Amino acid sequence: MKAKTPLFGKLLDLLMQSKAWRSLFRHGFSETNRNRSLMVFSNFFLHIHPVKVRLRAIAFRRTYYLGGLSGVTAFVLTVTGLFLMFYYRPAVPQAYYDMKDLQFVVSAGVFIRNLHRWAAHAMVALVFVHMVRVFFAGAYRPPREFNWVIGVLLFVVTLLLSYTGYLLPWDQLAYWAVTVGTNMADATPFVGAQIKFLMLGGNTLGENALIRFYVIHCILLPAVLYLLVAVHIWRIRKDGGIHLPKSESKQPEVTVRITEKKPAAEKVTEDE
């Protein structure tokens, strides 16, 4: 890599030859396809990305970035949810007063709470529109049928996260919305009463239900969501990247080509 000024170049060299740098980035900067692949494979953060993508697959109008945006909302929800947890106690009547404190007493509390609420609405809408986009692109067909199933599970988990979060403010809206929801579960043939009992942790909506919804909302469902998202993203790679219509995938590949520069002179490290 060419440095701009001699001093900067020396400092950069020093940094790049340090043990710490070499332990993180093992393959230098030489611009060969092989070296670029090694850089991506050997770095935990970079390995999320494929080594090569087709330009058509990253065009905005191919996916409208809806999957990525769903992921961004999930991340925003995790961070804001974590902040909310510092102030919220899942107990009756504290839960309601904590929400009021977040709104009127805690610095930036109302901002964090509203960000969490709006991101939740946005996530439900984005995941749904992403699903519709995938459907109309025909991307649910083999070899992506397994990823479609993972996607359906992600949609269900997203809705469950929304539903369980709804009870937590412990206000009138929350109380009656969950009363309606659990009565709907009660209407299930044969096992309805048992499901309702399991959801509420008793026969009436009270503190038992609140703690159940809290644990499911803050621990169980986010864990399942992140696991499924990891499989989802891994699966996209294994299925050959984003689905491209047959007519287009027959066209010659237009990935950015990097000219091989002196591959023989490339530095080879021990683990290769």
Contact residues toward ligand HEM (CB under 6 A) are 63, 65-68, 70-71, 74, 127, 130-131, 134, 137, 139-140, 144, 147-148, 151-152, 154-155, 158, 229, 232, 236, 242-243
At a CB cut-off of 8 Å and minimum separation 6, what does 139 contact? 148, 242, 243
| Eight-state DSSP code of residue 252 | P
d(CA 211, CA 90): 6
Return the beta strands (E) in the chain as ranges: none
Residue number with CB closer to ligand HEM (130 or 212): 130
Task: Report the distance separating Cα 44 and Cα 182, nearest Å.
Answer: 43
**Residue among 134 and 199 whose Cβ is closer to ligand HEM:** 134
CA dist 185 and 210 (Å) reads 17
User: What is the smallest separation between the CB atom of 216 and ligand HEM, expressed in angstroms?
Assistant: 17
Q: Residue 115 Cβ, how far from ligand HEM at the closest point, in Å?
A: 18
Which is nearer to ligand HEM, 63 or 182 (by Cβ)?
A: 63
**Single-letter amino acid, residue 113:** R
CB of 236 to ligand HEM, least distance (A): 5
Least CB distance to ligand HEM at residue 210 (A):
25
CA–CA distance from 218 to each of 30, 35, 109 (Å)?
45, 42, 18
Least distance between ligand HEM and beta carbon 255 (Å): 17
**Alpha-carbon span 52 to 256, nearest angstrom:** 8
Q: Is the Cβ–Cβ distance between 93 and 78 less than 8 Å?
A: no
Pick 22 or 237: Cβ nearer ligand HEM: 237
Looking at the Cβ atoms of 119 and 154, the one nearer to ligand HEM is 154
